[in-house]
A and B are shown apart, each in its own frame.
Chain A
Amino acid sequence: DAGVIQSPRHEVTEMGQEVTLRCKPISGHDYLFWYRQTMMRGLELLIYFNNNVPIDDSGMPEDRFSAKMPNASFSTLKIQPSEPRDSAVYFCASSFISRGADTQYFGPGTRLTVL
Chain B
Amino acid sequence: AQKITQTQPGMFVQEKEAVTLDCTYDTSDQSYGLFWYKQPSSGEMIFLIYQGSYDEQNATEGRYSLNFQKARKSANLVISASQLGDSAMYFCAMRPFTGGGNKLTFGTGTQLKVEL
Contact = CB atoms under 8 A, between A and B. Distances in A.
Nearest to B91: A43
A34 interface: no
Interface string B45-86: 111001010000000000000000000000000000000000
A108 B44 contact: yes
A4 to B, nearest CB: 10
Interface residues of B, number: 21
Contacts of A89: 43
Contacts of B50: 101, 103
Contacts of A108: 43-44
B44 A45 contact: no
Contacts, number: 51
B16 interface: no
Interface of A: 31, 33, 42-43, 45, 48, 50, 55-56, 89, 91, 93, 95, 97, 100-109, 111
24 contacts: A31-B102, A33-B104, A42-B109, A43-B91, A45-B103, A48-B102, A89-B43, A91-B45, A100-B31, A100-B33, A101-B33, A101-B50, A102-B33, A102-B102, A103-B47, A103-B50, A104-B35, A106-B37, A106-B45, A106-B46, A106-B47, A108-B43, A108-B44, A109-B43
